[in-house]
Chains A and B, each alone.
Chain A
Amino acid sequence: MANPLKSLTPLGHDAPITETIGAVTITENTGTALASLAARLGYEVEVASIAQTAAIPLPGPGRIEFAETYAAIWLGPEQWMIEAPFATHEDITAILKPIFTETASITEQTDAWVRFDITAPDLPALFERLFNYDLRRAGVGAATRTVIDHLGCYVIRRADTEVSILGPRSSAHSLHHALTTAAKATF
């Protein structure tokens, strides 16, 4: 196995970059593996039980929940996006499928998304010019689907001063441009 394929970040760099604009930092995060998890019809109870045993949180609508290894974002009825460290879970479906067996449908989503982690003392002031979601009211643990400059994105409030945006990977540059432009306009 000579020359294993070298990965590129969604912005086309060898390693994730961080940009600081005034009080805002925007960091590309490639360290998370993602998989969608959807309960098979009739197996909703089993999925909840298996997830609990496996320490995979399954939050309700509009939320993200964190556990030691896994975190999960509610995507739709009986459907979640599971996060795990990329370093240990690159082939995340190969890890999750044996856990859930035929009770759930699991699909790798890691590289479907670009993730930007944004920190700022006043995040709502930044994002009110980017999406129509009331971040001032949404506390830590809020996670929802929204639209930024025509791009369907997930916004995840990880901490009071930290938000992650999951956007379509192919539009990483457009999304990054929207974020940096708004940061310059805000602070």
Chain B
Amino acid sequence: MSRISGGQIDRSKTLRFSFDGVSYTGHPGDTLASALLANNVRLMGRSFKYHRPRGVISAGSEEPNAIVELRSGARQEPNTRATVIELFDGLQAQSQNRWPSLKFDAMAINDRLSPFFAAGFYYKTFMWPAAFWEKIYEPIIRRAAGLGSLSKQDDPDTYDKGFLHCDLLIIGAGPAGLSAALTAGRAGARVILADEDFRMGGRLNAETLEIGGASGADWAAKTVLELGSMPNVRLMPRSTVMGAFDHGIYGAVERVSDHLAEPLPGKPRQTLWRIYTKHAILAAGATERPIAFENNDRPGIMLAGALRAYANRWGVAVGEKVAVFTNNDDGLRTVADLKAKGLDVTLIDARKGDEIIDSAGRLGLKSITIRRANGQTETLHVTALGVSGGWNPSLNIASNHRGRPIWDDQIAAFIPAPESIAGLTCAGAAAGAMSTHAALTTGANHAIAALADLGLNAIADIPQAEDAPLNLTPAWYVHSGKGRAWVDQQNDVTVKDVKLAKQEGFVSVEHLKRYTTLGMATDQGKTSNVLGLAVMAELTGKSIPETGTTIYRPPYTPVAMGVLGGRARGHDFKPIRQTPSHKWATEQGAIFVEVGYWLRAQWLPRAGETTWRQSVDREVLQTRKSAGICDVTTLGKIDIQGTDAGLFLDRVYANTFGSLAVGKVRYGLMLREDGMVMDDGTTARLGQNEYVMTTTTANAVPVFRHLEYCRQVLWPDLDVQLISTTEAWAQYSVAGPNARKLLEKLVDQDISDAAFPYMACGAITVQGTRARLFRISFSGELAYEIAVPTRYGDAMIRALVEAGREFDAVVYGTEALGVMRVEKGHVAGNELNGQSSALNMGLGKMVSRKKDSIGMVLSQREGMTAPNGYRLVGVKPVNPSETLTAGAHFLAKGAAALAENDGGWLTSVVYSPHLGHSIALGYLKSGDNRKGERLRSVNLLANTDVEVEIVSPHFVDPEGERLRG
């Protein structure tokens, strides 16, 4: 038997799909589960541990059994629940966790060996011998563990992330959610209604109940239509609210394209929304729970509500001869609905003492054994069985902030505690209000209350609906025989396993979970947690709430890693910053290096150069010989203005700035409050109350933040204004003996040494374009930095290169820059390591004691000024053919490589083409008076041990004659 009349499927259209290579058909509106059942396929998977044949037990996201691999190739996705997969034409699904086939699974041998695999077996079995663990046990367990398999190919789809804002978020579009949305929407509130299903209406789509005289499903459809017409309401079907986070923020995954064979061009597969809401209503309904009995896991045995849903919503009869085993009146609804569909239904009512004690059928249910209240047993041939042990409110989200649910005897289930999460209330079955009338009423009332908080008046308009009680008498598991009764079907946890856990002392729910794996994996125990708890409660003689409960972390259902990453993948992982010369440098074939988000030219190879060293050596030599050009735009530029700007600089820099004349630049050293060096750079005085500070590239943002802190928090009384201008100006360094000659060709003003001496700055023009010129040098050569508005930066580099042609000027990258600064003994990132003082860097005299500045006092601490502390030194190999390695430590000759013999380390190492050998800067204990000493530089990682000589850190032009040239 398969399709029967009715249901919300479009029978005018046929969709083709395959499962384990066999082709089937279904209709729009089907899930993979409903379509398979309609094709008489009950066997959909194998259980995790024992590889028991399993079929679908639910009709929703709680499904523990019907877990399949969806799609193929790079889009292959393991562990998807057949019950929530919306059928599309061409869908391909495979069963998983079986070999070689679903019907014949060799691993089912585990089931025969089950006495050896009871709960906790791996804690006991794999203990001895200890040496076996890494080589034998772990690989075996790893191979056996896990469900499904990955394609190991890159996901070809894209995922979005975004932000939504509303007054009221309603989670779940069943009767309670729809009622709340209608009430709030009509009152004009901004509402988001999210539901994990592709069709809104929740259980109303699975029931034959009436609302206001119409069928519940029709009322739902009509309500959704009205909500859809409201501009203030956003309907989000196929959207799972997966967690409640802080301050009214909820996470929701919208499955934008999962119902398509592949996403439309440009469209994401899924979107992760962060929903900012003032109030939220949890109306997620309830999840039915089974009653455990022996062999209660055969395909064809499912939750009674699911059996009813397949018949009512999808027009599928799982069997012609059906039984229903229930402890509550909701089970009777299944009986009535299935009978109305013309099926042969037998009721086994636990409340009357009737029980099912066993079932038969290897790959699918064939019969059940019933024990009547009078003790008589009988065998009934059925191919479908619906079981109802009651309903557990879907309170997961409400416990995300550790709110502990409370027990409700009326429905024998946990309900959310009031105010579990600020701003969240629960309505309908999620709050334990199980009738349709109660759902509609609580939904509307919670919406009214939420809106009252926002100053909006809402009116409830609640249609007529059934208000029948559940009439539940708790029945958790059937006490009979020695067979296995399944509690958690996904993890193969049985009543016996719970008993074993108790016997071995794992009574606390947290221990029970870890010992038996109850409630783990993809379904997180939605159908099994309370049942497991109830079994434990009975064994310990305590009540269920005394025994405990589990609370839930996000996510509510599994979330793909891809959607958590969003667009931040590959090239889009982070933004890039391009320098003004980027386009030109790309044309030259420059090699770029990432410096933060910046891409800087590292070196610019010329034809015939085969190694980076050839390019870098040429760039260095030619700069020192003639002229070199470098894009230095990345250095931070901070515009500092105000009548107290000079005083401000005196306080943030360790050296004096108040005396800096207009039109002059000075090198500045900035300390942290603890006296360590924070950053260095130059600051130019452009006007009476106007300065521009440069920072290192890496510290542009931290220094700006620091200055803002100083300005706003430390000295709000100072008249100082700050703004970053890093991006506003394209800045190039022009260095080398011919730097001035080169610039003179472009600059409209006199920049002779007399007119523009060392450390001068000022506004100039370049062929009429506004520009700034600074005579400063990092390379130690005669050098300038010239800045033009960034839009002219590309033209400027081209003009500089053209003007430099007659001098055979080069453009150099960061490698050459690094070589030249080490040759000159300038500190940079490796020396500015956050643990070094001005004294360490040989810049101790820069810290002025004549004024107060940040870090000045603490830089004078005893430990900071110890004469045997680290000092910056230059280092060269005694044998020039030997190469130094950065990070190597200083050891005295003959000293063992032990921490107590450590004398310091090499901070920066380069090859100096000027000197023809490796040179380095380093921090050496008492380094300032050890020039000429010979030590070893030892790097145990690189396995090097090189004899070195300590020299001045100024390898080139120590007197600074070149830069003043």
Contact surface of A with B, Cβ cutoff 8 Å? 1-10, 12, 30, 36, 38, 40-42, 79, 91, 102, 105-113, 128-134, 136-137, 149-151, 168-175, 177-178, 181-182, 184-185
| Chain A residues closer than 8 Å to B758, beta-carbon distance | none
Q: B274 at the A/B interface (Cβ < 8 Å)?
A: yes
Q: Is the CB of B572 within 8 A of A177?
A: yes
Q: Is the CB of B729 within 8 A of A111?
A: yes
CB distance from A114 to the nearest CB of B (A): 9
Q: Is the CB of A170 within 8 A of B721?
A: no
| Chain B residues closer than 8 Å to A110, beta-carbon distance | 728, 789, 791
Q: B408 at the A/B interface (Cβ < 8 Å)?
A: no
| Chain B residues closer than 8 Å to A168, beta-carbon distance | 577, 727
How far is B771's CA from A91's CA once the two chains are assembled, in angstroms? 11
Chain B facing A: main interface SS: mixed
How far is B791's CA from A46's CA once the two chains are assembled, in angstroms? 34
CB distance from A93 to the nearest CB of B (A): 10
Given contacts A38-B721, A110-B789, A111-B728, contact A4 B163 (CB under 8 A): no
Q: Which residue of A lies closest to B645 (CB)?
A: A105
Given contacts A128-B164, A171-B577, contact A1 B767 (CB under 8 A): yes
Given contacts A8-B794, A136-B190, 7 further A-B contacts (CB under 8 A): A4-B769, A38-B641, A41-B642, A41-B718, A107-B723, A112-B726, A134-B276
Q: Which 4 A-B pairs have the closest CB atoms?
A: A184-B266, A105-B641, A174-B575, A129-B162
For window 687-731 of B, CB contacts with A under 8 Å fall at 689-690, 717-719, 721, 723-730
Q: Is the CB of B274 within 8 A of A132?
A: yes
Q: B660 at the A/B interface (Cβ < 8 Å)?
A: no
Given contacts A1-B748, A129-B271, A136-B165, contact A185 B266 (CB under 8 A): yes
CB distance from A167 to the nearest CB of B (A): 9
Contact surface of B with A, Cβ cutoff 8 Å? 158, 160-165, 190, 265-268, 271, 274, 276, 567-568, 572, 574-579, 582-583, 597-598, 633, 639, 641-644, 689-690, 717-719, 721, 723-730, 748, 766-770, 788-796, 799
Q: Is the CB of B768 within 8 A of A1?
A: yes
| Chain B residues closer than 8 Å to A173, beta-carbon distance | 576, 578
| Chain B residues closer than 8 Å to A3, beta-carbon distance | 767, 799
Q: Is the CB of B575 within 8 A of A79?
A: no
Given contacts A1-B768, A40-B642, contact A170 B598 (CB under 8 A): yes
Q: Is the CB of B727 within 8 A of A8?
A: no
| Chain B residues closer than 8 Å to A169, beta-carbon distance | 727-728, 790
> Which residue of B643, B690, B788, B791 has the most chain A CB atoms within 10 A of its CB atom?
B791
Q: Is the CB of B728 within 8 A of A134?
A: no
Q: Which listed residue (B643, B727, B796) contacts A112, Cβ 8 A?
A: B727
How far is B566's CA from A185's CA once the two chains are assembled, in angstroms? 12
| Chain A residues closer than 8 Å to B767, beta-carbon distance | 1-5
| Chain B residues closer than 8 Å to A91, beta-carbon distance | 770
Q: Which listed residue (B158, B162, B568) contacts A130, Cβ 8 A?
A: B162
| Chain A residues closer than 8 Å to B576, beta-carbon distance | 171, 173-174
How far is B769's CA from A131's CA once the two chains are assembled, in angstroms? 37
> Which residue of B274, B644, B728 has the most chain A CB atoms within 10 A of its CB atom?
B728
Q: Is the CB of B769 within 8 A of A5?
A: yes
Q: Is the CB of B721 within 8 A of A132?
A: no
How far is B117's CA from A110's CA once the two chains are assembled, in angstroms? 72
Q: Is the CB of B719 within 8 A of A40?
A: yes
How far is B580's CA from A171's CA once the two chains are assembled, in angstroms? 11
How far is B731's CA from A111's CA once the two chains are assembled, in angstroms? 13
How far is B572's CA from A175's CA once the two chains are assembled, in angstroms? 11
Q: Is the CB of A109 within 8 A of B728?
A: yes
Q: Is the CB of B160 within 8 A of A12?
A: no
| Chain B residues closer than 8 Å to A178, beta-carbon distance | 567, 575
How far is B718's CA from A96's CA once the two chains are assembled, in angstroms? 23
Q: Which residue of B lies closest to A151 (CB)?
A: B575
Q: Is the CB of A132 within 8 A of B574?
A: no
CB distance from A130 to the nearest CB of B (A): 7
| Chain B residues closer than 8 Å to A132, beta-carbon distance | 163, 274, 276
CB distance from A135 to the nearest CB of B (A): 9
How far is B576's CA from A131's CA once the two chains are assembled, in angstroms? 18
Q: Which residue of A lies closest to B568 (CB)?
A: A149
Q: Which residue of A lies closest to B717 (CB)?
A: A41
How far is B789's CA from A9's CA once the two chains are assembled, in angstroms? 12
Q: Which residue of A lies closest to B769 (CB)?
A: A5
| Chain A residues closer than 8 Å to B583, beta-carbon distance | 8, 12
| Chain A residues closer than 8 Å to B575, beta-carbon distance | 149-151, 171, 174-175, 178
Q: Which residue of B lies closest to A149 (CB)?
A: B575
CB distance from B594 to the nearest CB of A (A): 13
Q: Is the CB of B577 within 8 A of A40?
A: no
How far is B276's CA from A24's CA once the two chains are assembled, in angstroms? 26
In the assembled complex, 10 residue pairs joining A and B whose CB atoms fall closer than 8 Å, in A order, are: A5-B766, A5-B769, A7-B791, A9-B791, A36-B723, A105-B690, A150-B574, A170-B577, A174-B575, A185-B268
Q: Which residue of A lies closest to B232 (CB)?
A: A136
Q: Which residue of A lies closest to B272 (CB)?
A: A129
> Which residue of A91, A113, A131, A149 has the most chain B CB atoms within 10 A of its CB atom?
A149
How far is B265's CA from A184's CA once the two chains are assembled, in angstroms? 8
| Chain B residues closer than 8 Å to A172, beta-carbon distance | 578
Q: Which listed residue (A2, A109, A181) contacts B723, Cβ 8 A?
A: A109
How far is B689's CA from A102's CA once the two chains are assembled, in angstroms? 9
| Chain A residues closer than 8 Å to B769, beta-carbon distance | 4-5
| Chain A residues closer than 8 Å to B274, beta-carbon distance | 132
| Chain A residues closer than 8 Å to B579, beta-carbon distance | 170
How far is B789's CA from A109's CA once the two chains are assembled, in angstroms? 9
Q: Is the CB of A5 within 8 A of B795?
A: yes
Q: Is the CB of B796 within 8 A of A5?
A: yes
